[in-house]
Structure 1
Amino acid sequence: MNAQTEDEEPFLQIGGALRFNMILQDYESSINATSSSFTLDTWRINVLYDNPAGIGLNFEYRFYPTFGTHFIKQGWLEYQFSESTQGQLGVTQVPFGNIQYNSHNWWFSLPYYVGLEDDHDMGIKITHSSDNFRWDFAYFFQAEPEGPPAAFGSGGPGRYSYDVIPDGNTSLTERNQLNLRSAYQFDESEIGGSVQFGQLYNSVRNEFDSQYALALHADINSGSFNILQQILYYKMDTRNDAGENISTVFMGAYAIPYEVSTEAWIATLGISYSYDVEWGPVTNLNFYNDFSYMANSIGSGSTLTAGKSSLDLEENFQSTIQNITGLLVTAGPVYTYFDIAQGINHPWLTDNFGIGVGPGHEDLGTGSSEYNIRYNINIGFYF
């Protein structure tokens, strides 16, 4: 949004989207009648507003029939202090890593599944541009509001982005998070770094633990090519309700919680090629491949909290791999993703949902991780 002059009129836009998902899963078990499905993925409402005083609103609410829940994705008030400085207050995107996304596909990249891609929290953010630099400063008091628990399944928190949640014997929530992001911009590209530091509040112990994350990232455009690169490290120094050091915390989104390692490195590389066409309503084809690798850094002798039980680990947790090869077809207001999602030790690409970015299959006695594939077509109409 640009600064407005006094003769400009207030602007209000109401839109949304309706998306469908076609799935074929080839996981640990053999393909059968339950391996494929055609679902109503999402429908959502969007509201944008700004006026001559420089005050604006950005709001999005989503409904997920497949998961039986609904929730706010984003919702902030904004004020344009000048052409180079804007403030946002409310549920706004956390300025960390490549933004808005660190991926080209419908699945995102691995940082999303540990709360470090397209995360939204409740707080205040200032964005300032000067010469070739963009600076983002933010303070988040807490995670975004939860929607209702799923009407079926685990009944975890309904929300869009992954955050630490209370579960088992770890009564933790995110509080008091600070973010600083800086990026040097040139030729429609940028390279930068991000720092995040925050607290984890244990309501049983009535004490605060800490967490932090660091990232180097680049978003490079050259002709029809786009390259997204990022390497990040995060660590959570936290304990369970009994005061014991733990190796995993519970994180939740879409009303389904799972365990996440408290310390890891993640490297990602995504490449896309955009090709314009004139095939009736089809105007663009975007080919891409997004690769992610997550190396857990938990050492021997750590204590793993798994639900209500604990055990000692003899080795590091397993690594997680995700690779998405796909094509985005643009036809007017219809955007269709054709994705081949491949994963090893991935929380979503497995018959044992949620096992992956925490202890892994072997450490929980469910067998070795396998190379799993999901063929996914997502058709979205945006208005």
Structure 2
Amino acid sequence: MSEKNASTTGAAMVALMLLSGGVAAADTADTPWNLGGAVRFNYEHKSWQDDYPNGFFGLDTARLDVKYDDGVVIGSAQYRYNHFPKGQGGYWQHFLQHGWVGMRFADKSTLHVGLDRNMFGLQPFTSNNFYESIAFYAGFEDKFDLGLTYASKPGPVEWQVGFYPRDGGSYGGGGNTAGASNRYSYNIVADDDQQGYGTGQRDQERNTLIGRVALKMDGDGRNEVGLSALTGTIRNTTRSEGRDTRRNALAVHYRGGAGRWNVALEALRYNYKTSHGAQQTYGGLDPNSFVMLGGFGYPYPVASKGDIYIANLSYDLPGKLGPFSGFKLYNDYSVLRKRVAGYKNSVQNVSGMSFSAGKWLFYADFMWGKHHPYLSPDGGGLALTSRQHDGFTRRINLQAGFYF
């Protein structure tokens, strides 16, 4: 979901050169290069959107992927283009989702350098559905930053450590997007006067350190328990209004199952310590009771302290139906309990099914929840909420994606 600026232009150029090299190498036998991509289309219906009573259909994503693996030297990059219909904002963007190079050592441990996935919590995703969990929108799931990541050799106990001096940066988008929020990962970003909340907050994430350890409870590694910790700097670029502060997070998780049943559980606590001036707010709120996170074109406020709980259950259906197979039924539940007085909890539940046919992958999701910028008209829902948005709202997502 989005990224742009001078600091990341070089990364984008490297990704494009990798892509061009991958095309040339793909003509040779036994090449270490692998070039692919995807095109995805969505039908959406939002219960609160009276202007679109029949929903809307459009392009979701077009992307290019390149991978390199000669056994020792490894690398991966992905560039995306999004173009959303009017019912979903009527905007476009492009961004580098990830781009890194690295080494695989003799013991199968690895080191990555570049724009890489944060190894925090359940991996590689917390959720089964397309829209992920509340942890994604709070900046703790499916997130990529710029730095180094080391992963231990595979085994009964695995650990990772990463240091990220900078976030992934912002990229390009239409005139109706917020420049600092044109990125895939949800980071703390500078607010926007036209497309945001006009708070004047200009914070950034810097020097993030992440550690994670996971214990495999059986031979095939299906059942796993783990612990993750994160700490980093919140850079206050308006120094006249405050100073640099810290953010911290801790998570415990379990993933496992038996037979065709699968379960994923996570409990996460985070704390953003900020130093904002009295005028860096909106609606009379305490300016240090929220931070501005941004991604996919727009920033929104998130409670500065909270607990996130995730409980997902899925079932793999056997057999085929014509060309369709790989049927998975799931229910993914997550809640953000805000540890800020007067802030109401945010809820997200997604019931759905995924399946495939050749190179096609399909999702059918029914979402309901409240106080959530992607699941209700409550754009500030992950922070303070309005009484007029107290009820549950619904969103239907039907997606078809062709992966090559």
Q: TM-score, normalised by structure 2?
A: 0.83
Map residues 1-383 of structure 1 onto 2, 5 A cutoff. Answer: 10-27=31-48, 31-33=50-52, 36-52=55-71, 54-66=72-84, 67-129=91-153, 131-167=155-191, 168-185=199-216, 186=218, 187=220, 188-205=222-239, 207-241=243-277, 246-299=288-341, 316-352=342-378, 354-362=379-387, 367-383=388-404
- Partner amino acid for 1:81? F
Query: Residue deviations 1:78-131, cap 9 Å, x none?
Result: 200223310011011101110110000011011000100011100100000364
Aligned residues: 352
Seen in structure 2, the aligned counterparts of structure 1 residues 86 and 153 have a Cα distance that, compared at 3 Å, is: closer
Seen in structure 2, the aligned counterparts of structure 1 residues 91 and 227 have a Cα distance that, compared at 3 Å, is: same
CA distance in 1, matches of 2:319, 2:51: 38
Query: Residue deviations 1:109-161, cap 9 Å, x none?
Result: 11000100011100100000364011000000111021114332445521111
CA distance in 2, matches of 1:166, 1:155: 9
Stretch moving more, 119-128 or 60-69 = 60-69
SS in 1 for 2:233: strand
- Partner amino acid for 2:55? S
SS in 1 for 2:244: strand
CA distance in 1, matches of 2:237, 2:36: 39
SS in 2 for 1:359: coil
Q: TM-score, normalised by structure 1?
A: 0.88
Aligned-pair distance for 1:183? 0.3
Equivalent residues of 2:244, 2:275 under 8 A apart: no
Equivalent residues of 2:171, 2:179 under 8 A apart: no
Corresponding position of 2:4: none
Query: Residue deviations 1:10-53, cap 9 Å, x none?
Result: 511100000000011112x6x4535610010001000011225x
Query: Residue deviations 1:169-224, cap 9 Å, x none?
Result: 21100000100000001342211010000000011217321000000001113221
Equivalent residues of 2:102, 2:112 under 8 A apart: yes
- Partner amino acid for 2:276? N
Equivalent residues of 1:184, 1:190 under 8 A apart: yes
SS in 2 for 1:112: helix
Query: Residue deviations 1:206-243, cap 9 Å, x none?
Result: 73210000000011132211101000000011122569
CA distance in 2, matches of 1:245, 1:69: 30
Equivalent residues of 2:207, 2:232 under 8 A apart: yes
Stretch moving more, 261-270 or 342-351 = 342-351
SS in 1 for 2:181: coil
Equivalent residues of 2:178, 2:297 under 8 A apart: yes
SS in 2 for 1:82: coil
- Superposed CA RMSD: 1.8
- Partner amino acid for 1:58? S
Equivalent residues of 2:171, 2:183 under 8 A apart: yes
Residue ranges of structure 2 left out of the alignment (5+ in a row): 1-28, 85-90, 192-198, 281-285
CA distance in 1, matches of 2:340, 2:52: 39
Stretch moving more, 222-231 or 129-138 = 129-138
CA distance in 1, matches of 2:287, 2:373: 23
SS in 1 for 2:302: strand
Query: Residue deviations 1:356-378, cap 9 Å, x none?
Result: 1111123xxxx242110011101
Seen in structure 2, the aligned counterparts of structure 1 residues 379 and 176 have a Cα distance that, compared at 3 Å, is: same
SS in 1 for 2:386: helix
Query: Residue deviations 1:49-94, cap 9 Å, x none?
Result: 1225x11110001110113111011111020022331001101110
Q: Which runs of 4+ in 1 moved over 4 A?
A: 153-156, 241-245
Equivalent residues of 1:103, 1:270 under 8 A apart: yes
